[in-house]
Structure 1
Amino acid sequence: MTASTLSAHHVGITVNDLEELLAFYRDVLGLTVVDRFAVGGDAFADAVGVEEGRAEFAHLEAGGIRIELVEYDPEARGSPAAGLNQPGATHVGLAVDDLEAFYADLPESVSTISEPRTTESGTSILFLRDPESNLIEVLES
């Protein structure tokens, strides 16, 4: 056990096309870009375990949570299972005041798993996919 206290810093999503995904998270979901940068060199490549790796990053503000989009060079091959019920599945959870209004304002090009639904716990949720099929849960707070 360490004497240091951990705190959340960001949620990361590795993407194939940073510019396309950045436009989606900024323009469709309304998140604010707070930082853009690139990292490379031996120390970075060693730290992430990607030989000769470098990456472009974009950080977005999502109501107190930072979402990090990262595009690696060289690009990885293969991907984890996309279903929510698969081990290793991931998603980003975002909250809105009015889920029905959020859903109604989504562009037709945005793929959703279903219309908004209220679960037996009383939470209204909606799952959608970004342009690279990463899952995003939007729930009513």
Structure 2
Amino acid sequence: MDATAHHYAITVTDLERAVEFYRDVLGLDVSSRFSVGGDAFATGVGVDGASAEFAHLDAGGSRLELVSYDPEGDERSDPQLNEPSATHLGLEVDDLVSVYEELPEDIETLSEPQTTESGTTILFVVDPEGNLVELLQP
């Protein structure tokens, strides 16, 4: 098998709010929006009667897929990076300190930018759905 990455997906409860965050705060461009439903989709995702609204955003050569399902699943607890099955999205930026300084005041972060032993500067922000996004500068 020759698998290649197609997209990275985040399930959200409020698609508009999520699109605004990734577009307006993180600067990703919306490349498409669409809906999917029907028996084949519901069977494929393993959710009876499922339909979904999608937004695809351009993350510099990678595709970020935001998806909002109907019916909506149960909420999960606050994510912790050290928990098994924890996930996060990583986005590289040119000047992390400037990005941090320009973040709107209502954007939650885990800390100020930190330079690790590897020399990479990292900053984790929390999106409106509680998902962790790592902004990094190598």
TM-score normalised by structure 2 residue count: 0.97
Q: Indicate yes or no: 2:104 matched with 1:138.
A: no
Specify the alignment match of 2:7 in structure 1. 10
Structure 2: distance between partners of 1:97 and 1:14: 27
Q: Measured at CA, do residues 21 and 101 of structure 1 come closer, stay the same or move farther in structure 2, by a change above 3 Å?
A: same
Identity of aligned residues (%): 60
What is the number of equivalent residue pairs in this alignment?
138
Q: Deviations over 1:68-113 (max 9, x none)?
A: 0000000001326510000010000000011101101100010000
Give the stretch that moved more between structures: 77-86 or 110-119. 77-86
Q: Secondary structure at the match of 1:94?
A: strand
Alignment partner for residue 21 of structure 1, among 18, 27, 30?
18
Q: Deviations over 1:32-70 (max 9, x none)?
A: 000100000000000000100000000000111110000
Structure 1: gaps spanning 5 or more residues: none
Structure 2: distance between partners of 1:79 and 1:65: 26
Paired letter, 2:32: D
Structure 1: distance between partners of 2:16 and 2:34: 13
What's the C-alpha RMSD, in Å, of the aligned pairs?
0.9
Deviation at 1:5?
Answer: 1.1
Structure 2: gaps spanning 5 or more residues: none
Task: Confirm or deny: 8 A CA contact 1:81 1:89 kept in the other structure.
Answer: no
Specify the alignment match of 1:111 in structure 2. 108
Structure 1: distance between partners of 2:77 and 2:63: 23
Q: Measured at CA, do residues 81 and 105 of structure 1 come closer, stay the same or move farther in structure 2, by a change above 3 Å?
A: closer
Give the stretch that moved more between structures: 49-58 or 4-13. 4-13
Specify the alignment match of 1:91 in structure 2. 88
Q: Indicate yes or no: 2:104 matched with 1:100.
A: no
Task: Confirm or deny: 8 A CA contact 1:80 1:88 kept in the other structure.
Answer: no
Structure 2: distance between partners of 1:116 and 1:34: 29
Paired letter, 1:98: D
Task: Confirm or deny: 8 A CA contact 2:56 2:65 kept in the other structure.
Answer: yes
